[in-house]
Amino acid sequence: MNKPFAVVLDASTSLCNKTGSWRTKRPEYITRLPPCNSACPAGENIQQWLYFAIEGKFFDAWKVMVERNPFPAVIGRVCYSMCEKACNRAITDGAVNINLLERSIGDLAIAKGWEFEKNANYPGKKILIIGAGPSGLSAAYFLKKLGHEVTIYDNHKKPGGMMRYGVPRYRLPNNVLDTEIKRIVNFGVKIICDKKIDDICAAIKEFDAVYIAVGASIALKPDVKIESGSNIVDAVGLFQKLENEDKDLPYLGQTVLVCGGGNTAIDAARSSLRLGAKNVKIIYRRTIDDMPANENEIGEALAEGIEILCLRTISKVDKNKIFVDKMNYDREASILSKSGELEILYADSVIFAIGQSVDKDMFSNIEGINVSENGVIEVDENMMTEIPGVFAGGDAISGKRTVTHAIAWGKKASNYIDAYLRSTKVTKPPKNEVITFKRLNVAYYTKNPRKNVFIPMDISFKEKDTSYSGKKIIEEASRCFSCGNCFHCDNCYGYCPDGTIIKHKDGSLEFNYDYCKGCGICASECPCGAIKMIEE
């Protein structure tokens, strides 16, 4: 058997001889993209504001939030947590409760009266935004930050769009929404409600650019035979009546069927309970695993006693008699067909929540603004319609109809509009690689399972107070792995066998490659994956 081979260097040799020529790989400090940041539709710098939250610097954390999202308290309530689904900590002991942290810091901002910092305006242009929903308000905020004069027209009594008229109050109270909208008004954005635009072509003559953010507020009509005398309600109309506190709220009765599988269907079913219904069922044509609704919302609906009947579709409503076809579903082939088996259910009301569309009539006589068969406004790669200077975004052009996506569209539109007005082009910065769990060394993190907030059962329109206190914010934020970004733990400095890492007074580190052998210990011992071994 061969003896192990060893190279022995005396002390003077190891200190004086350069070892760089031994390497096949060299370590480099890099910044990788945290999966939470990557998954956020609004592009929030989540890891950065979590860092400030850990330090107890809540105002600094809020300032980072509102760089990319003017509605932290709203988003902390209504976002469907794409960031948490991507969180690397979910693999070990539960994702960081990012949503609740954002809500808590957003609520703190409301309590303390924090306002946006006004910047010195350059001689900006006049921009009209049609629609005061999340996309329109978001675009207005970012355009104002860029120095433009922004006016919003909205045909409702109050601003907010689907945040006000499409989200039940038990999820988003009016006082929270009103305060965050008022902050945008205080920033210098002008909002005029009860104002309908009949002639967009005339408006473009008065303004330098127009952004159409009307949302998708028209409920799709069901392809169902409905006999006269049947109590049919569309979910969007129900939410609008609830918000306007109409005295003539639709009578839903004791038994309600909701047709649909999205978040709107879940909200409609849970609202029905709060309006006095005792027996509420959701009819969905595929399986519960295929429902596009958020799984947490589905769970809460089931906990409240709502029944979900899958692989069914309504074919006919005859007063309180509902004819339901059972379905065959091949998920792999995505083939859905009627089984031929019929079921009859009985209900006092049927609520349809099968999707929404843009109000096509609004644009029927406007040449250059085209609405597709799918009910969205057609735009080019710069979000502009065929009319120069007229842009469209949010739910009006997107299939992903959430508040978070709408805010992202507003920010994106603001960049394209600003570039158009300045006669420049939008340049997208390169993205760092997203860091995966396998690149972390989680052995260095203390086990600290996610502690979910207990929410008492209360079937009412009153919101449940679940926000963290200041101490709890720090505790939960401290669970962040700081994926892909150095937090100066000095593991690399301590483990390097050759002392090749130079530590500067400001805490930054660099490699002395003359003496680095490329052993890779620094990279393997880095908890957050901020060191990468590069081929020489």
Last residue of a domain, one of 306, 334, 354: 354
3-state secondary structure (DSSP) of residue 140:
helix
Residues 254 and 329 in one domain: yes
Angle at 524 between CA 523 and CA 527, to 5 degrees: 85
**All residues at 6 or more sequence positions from 105 whose CB lies less than 8 Å from its CB, including other chains:** 49, 53, 58, 61, 62, 65, 72, 76, 473
Give the rounded percent of residues in the chain with a pLDDT score beyond 70. 94
Measured over the CA atoms of residue 312, residue 315, residue 317 and residue 320, the dihedral's sign is negative
* CA 152 to the chain's CA centroid: 23
The residue segments making up the domain with residue 300 are 222-354
Residues 259 and 278 in one domain: yes
The model's pTM: 0.90
User: What's at 93, amino acid-wise?
Assistant: D
CATH number where 390 lies: 3.50.50.60
Q: What pLDDT score does 248 carry? A: 67
Residues 187 and 142 in one domain: yes
| pLDDT digits 0-9 by tens, 351-395 | 999 888 888 777 877 888 888 877 788 999 999 999 999 999 988
Which of 99-108, 245-254, 422-431 reaches the highest mean pLDDT?
99-108
Residues 248 and 329 in one domain: yes
Measured over the CA atoms of residue 200, residue 202, residue 203 and residue 209, the dihedral's sign is positive
d(CA 35, CA 46): 10
Residues 147 and 211 in one domain: yes
CATH number where 493 lies: 3.30.70.20
Residue at 514 is within a domain? yes
| pLDDT digits 0-9 by tens, 257-275 | 999 999 999 999 999 999 9
Residues 455 and 384 in one domain: no
d(CA 368, CA 118): 36
pLDDT, mean of residues 222-242: 90
Q: How confident is the model at residue 12 (pLDDT cuts 50, 70, 90)?
A: very low
- For the packed helices 46-54 and 470-477, what is the interaxial angle rounded to 10 degrees? 120
CATH number where 109 lies: 1.10.1060.10
* CA 500 to the chain's CA centroid: 43
Q: Are 200 and 171 in contact (CB under 8 A)?
A: no
Q: What pLDDT score does 246 carry? A: 55
Residues 260 and 345 in one domain: yes
Of 528, 434, 410, nearest to 42 by C-alpha is 410
158 against 507, higher pLDDT: 158
| pLDDT digits 0-9 by tens, 465-504 | 788 988 999 999 999 999 999 999 999 999 999 889 998 8
Residues 349 and 252 in one domain: yes
Residues 261 and 173 in one domain: no
Partners of residue 473 on adjacent β-strands: none
Last residue of a domain, one of 324, 354, 384: 354
Last residue of a domain, one of 317, 332, 354: 354
| pLDDT digits 0-9 by tens, 422-462 | 999 998 888 899 999 999 999 999 999 998 777 777 898 88
| pLDDT digits 0-9 by tens, 164-185 | 998 999 999 999 999 999 999 9
Residues 260 and 383 in one domain: no
DSSP calls for 175-237: HHHHHHHHHHHHTT-EEE-S---S-HHHHHHHSSEEEE-----EEPPPS-EE-TT--EEEHHH
Residue at 6 is within a domain? no
DSSP state of 314: E
Strands in 273-347 per DSSP E: 279-283, 307-309, 312-318, 321-330, 335-346
Residue at 173 is within a domain? yes
DSSP calls for 75-137: HHHH---HHHHH-GGGGTT----HHHHHHHHHHHHHHHT--PPP-PPPS--EEEEE--SHHHH
Residues 210 and 157 in one domain: yes
d(CA 535, CA 318): 71
Structure tokens given for 320: 């309180």
β-pairing, 321-330 with 335-346?
A: antiparallel
Q: How confident is the model at residue 123 (pLDDT cuts 50, 70, 90)?
A: low
Residue at 434 is within a domain? no
Q: How confident is the model at residue 89 (pLDDT cuts 50, 70, 90)?
A: very high
Q: What pLDDT score does 400 carry? A: 75
Residue at 442 is within a domain? no
Residues 254 and 347 in one domain: yes
pLDDT, mean of residues 299-306: 94
Residue at 430 is within a domain? no
Q: How far is the CA of 529 from the CAs of 17, 107, 507, in angstroms?
A: 30, 33, 18
Q: What pLDDT score does 245 carry? A: 63
Structure tokens given for 458: 């209360």
* Structural domain count, the chain: 4
Angle at 7 between CA 4 and CA 12, to 5 degrees: 155
Residue at 439 is within a domain? no
β-pairing, 509-511 with 501-503?
A: antiparallel
The mean of the pLDDT values for the chain is 90
* CA 495 to the chain's CA centroid: 40
Residue at 3 is within a domain? no
pLDDT beyond 80 at 239 = yes
3-state secondary structure (DSSP) of residue 296:
helix
Q: How confident is the model at residue 13 (pLDDT cuts 50, 70, 90)?
A: very low
Long-range pairs, 90-94, Cβ under 8 A, ≥24: 91/437, 92/442, 92/445, 92/447, 93/447, 93/448, 93/449, 93/450, 94/449, 94/450
Structure tokens given for 307: 């029944």
